[in-house]
Structure 1
Amino acid sequence: MDKKKIVAEIASRHGVLIREDDPAFYIVDLATMVIEEKAEEIREAVGKAEQSIPYLLDLKRKEIDEAAARILAASDDLETQRKQLAETLQQDVDNELRARVEDYTSQVMAAIKSTIRETVQDEMTNAALTIETAARELEQARHGLRRSQLQDLLWMGAVGTVGGLISLLFYVTFF
């Protein structure tokens, strides 16, 4: 500290003349020592703070890493749940489609059986009429004519027709 400079500055600013051994300089020295001591304490505190910054940053980095790991785990859980829900929905859709196909197939089979029954009944009725007609014709031929080869052929044709119709009925009924 340059006391001469300070004395000159106080004289120019305030118009007061003090000497270099003035007790005010003791107060200034005292304040300077206190300030220097506090500055040293502040420097030490700043040094400690600077040393703890990497540690604190490392702690925060670990906290962030743990939070990120929790978020990723939650994301994985959500993905697993989404897949399970998709599988459940797919199974429900498959079961519903399967039930509808089975219902439709049952309806189609019932309609086919009904149609086959009606067709068989119609064919049996026609065959019965044909046999009845053939039998009448044979009866008429038997009464009026001698049995000839033509009559034998008609009889065999009727029997063959009846046999064919019966075979057709069995085929349609069982297959």
Structure 2
Amino acid sequence: MNRSTFWHLIERTQEEKHGDQEKQIALLREQLLHLSLEELQSFAHIVDELCSESYRPLLWAAAYLMNGGCSDDGFEYFRGWLIAQGATVFSQAVNDPDTLADVIPSHQRDLPESDFECEEILFLAQHVYHEKTGEEMPSPHRLKYPSLTREEIHLITDDVAVAQACPRLWALFHYKA
């Protein structure tokens, strides 16, 4: 499986979910059931690559702002949510997290309990693999995330820096953080 095929699967389920993330995961699971074991492994590898590519301090700051806080696990789940939004949203957000202000549904903007997380997508291929074989998916060499500097870590919770870097997200979500 290449990235084009990967994104096609994500975007097809994104279009059919009608605002329901659980429905998207169920639809994606149905799609994955038709893949070969090698394709499932490739799907899982692409998810890992995308998580590594999106391990960026300003994106973590956006996740912190949008979710009213964000642990390292929370940032992992946020990136799962980001992947579930599709290729365009993903690539735009990696390059400029403030673009996420354009994709947040208005009904989620004002709810303090809204979360922008999707843990399920991170391990969906592994679960389908286990369902099909009764065995765990062989673990390829996990990608390492880049190390963050002390300054980059500080950026995640620096209100002034986040407000300057992501003014539209700040305007929508600063009351939650």
TM-score of the superposition, structure 1-length normalised? 0.18
Structure ranking higher in helix proportion: 1
Q: Kindly indicate whether structure 1 or structure 2 has the higher relative contact order, using CA contacts under 8 Å at least 6 residues apart.
A: 2
